[in-house]
Amino acid sequence: MANEEKDSKISRRKFVKNSGYVAGGVVGGGLLGSLLGVNFKGSEQTSTAPVKEAKFNQALMYFTRQADFKTLGAATERIFPEDDNGPGALALGVPYFIDHQLAGSYGRNDQEYMQGPFHDGTAFQGLQSPLKRHEIFMQGIRALEKESQSDFNDSFTSLEGEQQDKILQKFEDDKVKLKGVKASEFFDLLRSATLAGAYSDPLYGGNEDMAGWKMKEYPGSQMSYINEIEEEDFVEMKPSALHEHL
């Protein structure tokens, strides 16, 4: 069982690598896809890769320009890269997660106090920007591209990973000036949204195949741990998502 899982992970990674830019492609699906035998864009797949089904919710409901979405994807992948543990932000569907979040109440600050007057606060008074999160993301992502053009004379998505890191670091260190919000505040949002996309229930479009949870050996949504709570040894469990509760 454990071996099988490991094998499918490896082949999946290989597939991710072979298919190039994942967020624009059709990667993922795993078990369900292989059971159903749906062979979407089958010509791209090797015989070792699991067969994928179309994921209709991998489309954009907030971003309008592909270029912005690709910049976002590249930035999230640097924050949460693919490595020996497993997939990175792109293969987990994090950019779609963020896109969908920005289109909803999170992006529109529906539950936040957004009445003026707006003043800069101290470091201890929390975020005081008049901008909503979707406006912060949009401005920040365009600024990533602008910085990339000015520092490396190339698009952010075309840079080497380390060059992308340098740009991101400038944002984290507030060495870039944004309007109505600090670059570091944008970076913090980007970082936290990336982690949320990697580890939230797959229902939101990230954590594809629960692969984020699997890396952390997190069992997801279980109804009870009464049988595990007193165990001395670590108990590995097959993860479960909210989908299974319906």
Task: Identify whether the C-beta of residue 100 lies closer than 8 Å to the C-beta of residue 134.
Answer: no
Only segment of 43-51, 63-71, 74-82, 176-184 that touches other proteins (CB under 8 A) = 74-82
Which positions ≥6 away from 31 have C-beta within 8 Å? Answer: 50, 209
Task: Identify whether the C-beta of residue 97 lies closer than 8 Å to the C-beta of residue 58.
Answer: no
User: Is residue 103 at the binding interface for other proteins, with CB under 8 A as the rule?
Assistant: no
Q: What is the total count of residues that contact other proteins (CB under 8 A)?
A: 61
Distance CA 149, CA 118 (A): 32
User: Is residue 137 at the binding interface for other proteins, with CB under 8 A as the rule?
Assistant: no
List the structure tokens of 225: 């741990």
- Closest to 95 in 3D by CA, of 9, 18, 193: 193
Q: Which of 63, 69, 96, 106 binds other proteins (CB under 8 A)?
A: 106
Which positions ≥6 away from 44 have C-beta within 8 Å? Answer: 18, 19, 25
Q: Which of 8, 109, 139, 157 binds other proteins (CB under 8 A)?
A: 109
Only segment of 66-74, 75-83, 136-144, 150-158 that touches other proteins (CB under 8 A) = 75-83
Task: Identify whether the C-beta of residue 205 lies closer than 8 Å to the C-beta of residue 58.
Answer: yes
User: Is residue 20 at the binding interface for other proteins, with CB under 8 A as the rule?
Assistant: no
User: Is residue 51 at the binding interface for other proteins, with CB under 8 A as the rule?
Assistant: no
**Please, what is the minimum distance in Å from the beta carbon of residue 187 to other proteins?**
9
Count of other CB atoms within 10 angstroms of residue 236: 11
Nearer to other proteins, 96 or 106 (CB): 106
User: Is residue 4 at the binding interface for other proteins, with CB under 8 A as the rule?
Assistant: no
Q: Interface residues with other proteins (CB under 8 A)?
A: 78-81, 83-85, 88, 105-106, 109-115, 117, 119, 121-128, 165, 168, 191, 194-196, 199-201, 203-204, 212-213, 215-226, 228-232, 234-235, 242, 245
